């Protein structure tokens, strides 16, 4: 989870009790004026990275292993410094790319070729990004 002011944490899914009809909800992070409201909540594994974006177009990439793992109703730790007039507006989960040592050959013995990527017009975004 991450708040609008850049505080976040990882909590095991097993720490969240199952809720049935008529349940009153479950706390996931202590929200205060200083930390802001909850901005995003993602299910992640050790192979993932998070791209955190602010309204002011600041973007950082964080490996999930670097995020503190704490209890369900704790405060969290500062993951990103956010200006007073800015807030986190989107978080995207990506699978970390496997790094190859520099100069390592690919299967056919040659260096990797750059492949152009079609970014499209932005209307075909993954569904999990549309929720933000």
Longest dimension (CA), the chain: 61
Residue 71 in domain: yes
CA distance 78 to 29: 13
Residue 52 in domain: yes
Percent of the chain predicted with pLDDT > 90? 1
Residue 124 in domain: no
Residue 106 in domain: no
Residue 11 in domain: yes
- Report the domain count for the chain: 1
Percent of the chain predicted with pLDDT > 70? 73
Residue 24 has pLDDT above 80, yes or no: yes
The closest of 103, 72, 87 to 1, measured between CA atoms, is 72
Contact assessment for residue 58 and residue 50, using Cβ atoms and an 8 Å cutoff: no
Residue 113 in domain: no
Higher pLDDT, 132 or 14: 14
Mean pLDDT score, 54-61: 88
104 pLDDT band (50/70/90 cuts)?
Answer: low
Contact assessment for residue 49 and residue 64, using Cβ atoms and an 8 Å cutoff: yes
Give me the domain span that covers residue 56: 1-15+28-98
Residue 122 has pLDDT above 70, yes or no: no
Q: What is the mean pLDDT of the chain?
A: 77
């Amino acid at each position: 989870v991450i708040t609008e002011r850049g505080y976040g944490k990882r909590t095991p899914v097993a720490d969240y009790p199952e809720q049935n009809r008529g349940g009153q909800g479950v706390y996931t992070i202590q929200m205060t004026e200083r930390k802001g409201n909850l901005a995003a909540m993602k299910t992640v594994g050790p192979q993932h990275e998070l791209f955190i974006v602010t309204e002011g177009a600041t973007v950082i990439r964080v490996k999930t292993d670097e995020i503190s793992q704490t209890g369900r109703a704790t405060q969290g730790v500062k993951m990103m410094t956010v200006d007073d007039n800015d807030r986190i507006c989107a978080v995207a989960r990506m699978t970390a790319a496997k790094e190859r040592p520099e100069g390592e050959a690919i299967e056919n013995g040659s260096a990797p070729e750059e492949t152009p990527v079609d970014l499209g017009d932005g209307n075909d975004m993954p569904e999990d990004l549309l929720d933000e």
